[in-house]
Amino acid sequence: MAITAGKLIRNGDILFAGTGVAMLAATVAKRIHAPRSVVFFETGGIDPSLDELPMAVADSRVMSGTSMNSGLIDAFSIVGHRKLHTIAFLGAAQIDKFGNLNSTCIGNYWKPKVRFSGSGGACDAAALASGFIVFMQHEKNKFVEKLDYLTSPGWLQGGETRRKMGMVRGGPMAVVTNLGVMKFDDQTKEMYLAEYYPGVTTQRIAENTGFKMDVSKAQVAVPPSDEELRILRTEVDPQRLILGEGLG
Amino acid sequence: MIDLEIKEKLMSPQEAVRRFIKNGSQVAIGGFTINRNPMGVIYEIVRQGVKDLHLVCHSNGQALDVLIGAGCVKRVEIAYGGNGRFAPTCVRFRKAIEQGDIEFEDYSNYHMSLRFLAGTLGIPFIPTKSGLGTSLLDVEGFSPVLRKERKVAAKKLVVIENPFDENSHKVVLLPALNPDVALLHVQYVGEDGTVRIKGLTFADLEQAKSADIVIVTCEEIVPRSFIRRDPDQNSLPPFLIDAIVKLPMGAHPTACAYFYDYDVSHLNLYKKVVKDNQRFQDYLQEWVLGVANHEEYLDKIGMDALLKIKASPVLGYAPGLDRR
Bridge partners of B85? B83
Q: Which residues contact B247 (CB under 8 A, 6 or more apart)?
A: B13, B40, B41, B185, B217, B218, B219, B294
Residue B25 lies in a domain: yes
Those of residues 85-124 in A touching chain B at CB distance below 8 A are: 104-105, 109-124
Q: Which residues contact B243 (CB under 8 A, 6 or more apart)?
A: B9, B11, B15, B16, B19, B20, B213, B214, B215, B216
The C-alpha of B159 sits at a distance from chain A's nearest C-alpha, in angstroms, of 12
Residue A122 half-sphere exposure toward CB, CA atoms < 13 A: 33
pLDDT value of position A248:
47
pLDDT value of position B236:
98
Q: Note whether A233 contacts B: Cβ–Cβ < 8 A.
A: no
Domain interval for residue B48:
4-308
Question: In what helix (H) or strand (E) does residue A204 lie, and over which residues does it extend?
Answer: helix A202-207
More confident residue, A150 or B167: A150
Residue B320 lies in a domain: no
pLDDT digits over A21-32, tens only?
888 888 888 888
pLDDT value of position A97:
98
**Do B173 and B87 touch, CB atoms closer than 8 A?**
no
pTM: 0.97
Domain interval for residue A62:
2-245
Answer yes or no: do B132 and A72 touch at CB < 8 A.
no
Question: In what helix (H) or strand (E) does residue A76 lie, and over which residues does it extend?
Answer: helix A72-79
Mean pLDDT over each residue of chain B, to the nearest integer: 96
Q: How deeply is A182 buried, as exposed, middle or buried, from its count of CB atoms within 10 A (0-12, 13-18, 19+)?
A: buried
3-state SS string for chain B:
CCCHHHHCCECCHHHHHHHHCCCCCEEEECCECCECCCHHHHHHHHHCCCCCEEEECCEECHHHHHHHHCCCEEEEEECEECECECCCCCHHHHHHHHCCCCEEEECCHHHHHHHHHHHHHCCCEEEECCCCCCHHHHCCCCCCCHHHCCCCCCCCCEEEECCCCCCCCEEEEEECCCCCEEEEEEEEEECCCCEECCCCCECHHHHHHHCCEEEEEEEEEECHHHHHHCHHHCCECHHHCCEEEECCCCCCCCEECCCECCCHHHHHHHHHHCCCHHHHHHHHHHHHHCCCCHHHHHHHHCHHHHHHCECCCCCCCCCCCCCC
Answer yes or no: do B106 and A110 touch at CB < 8 A.
no
- Length of chain A, in residues: 248
Distance set, CA B160 to CA B110, B137, B165, B197 (Å):
18, 12, 12, 37
Those of residues 120-139 in A touching chain B at CB distance below 8 A are: 120-124, 127-128
Q: How deeply is A45 buried, as exposed, middle or buried, from its count of CB atoms within 10 A (0-12, 13-18, 19+)?
A: buried
Whichever domain contains A57, its CATH number is 3.40.1080.10
Q: How deeply is A36 buried, as exposed, middle or buried, from its count of CB atoms within 10 A (0-12, 13-18, 19+)?
A: exposed
The C-alpha of B7 sits at a distance from chain A's nearest C-alpha, in angstroms, of 30
When divided into structural domains, chain B yields a total of: 1
From chain A, pick out residues whose CB is under 8 angstroms from the CB of B134: 123, 127, 150-153
Whichever domain contains B212, its CATH number is 3.40.1080.10
Side chain identity, residue A36: R
Minimum-distance CB partner of A119 among B36, B93, B108: B108
* ipTM reported for the complex, 2 dp: 0.96
Q: Which residues contact B36 (CB under 8 A, 6 or more apart)?
A: A58, B30, B184, B185, B186, B197, B199, B202, B204, B251, B254, B255, B256, B257
How much of chain B, in percent, has pLDDT values that exceed 70?
99
Residue B323 lies in a domain: no
When divided into structural domains, chain A yields a total of: 1
The arithmetic mean of pLDDT across residues B299-303, rounded, is: 98
Side chain identity, residue A80: G
Residue B265 lies in a domain: yes
From chain A, pick out residues whose CB is under 8 angstroms from the CB of B83: 56
The C-alpha of B311 sits at a distance from chain A's nearest C-alpha, in angstroms, of 9
Q: For residue A146, count other CB atoms closer than 10 A to its CB.
A: 12
Minimum-distance CB partner of A42 among B109, B170, B311: B109
Bridge partners of B80? B59
Interface test with B, best of A72, A130, A163 (most B CBs within 10 A): A72
**Do B256 and B316 touch, CB atoms closer than 8 A?**
no
The C-alpha of B263 sits at a distance from chain A's nearest C-alpha, in angstroms, of 12
Q: For residue B52, count other CB atoms closer than 10 A to its CB.
A: 13
pLDDT value of position A247:
47
Answer yes or no: do B202 and A43 touch at CB < 8 A.
yes
**What is the β-pairing status of strands A105-106 and B80-81?**
unpaired
How much of chain B, in percent, has pLDDT values that exceed 90?
96
pLDDT value of position A24:
86
pLDDT band at B84 (very low <50, low <70, confident <90, very high): confident
Ranges of residues in chain A whose predicted pLDDT is under 70? 245-248
From chain B, pick out residues whose CB is under 8 angstroms from the CB of A57: 32-33, 59, 84
Answer yes or no: do B88 and A117 touch at CB < 8 A.
yes
Answer yes or no: do B202 and A153 touch at CB < 8 A.
no
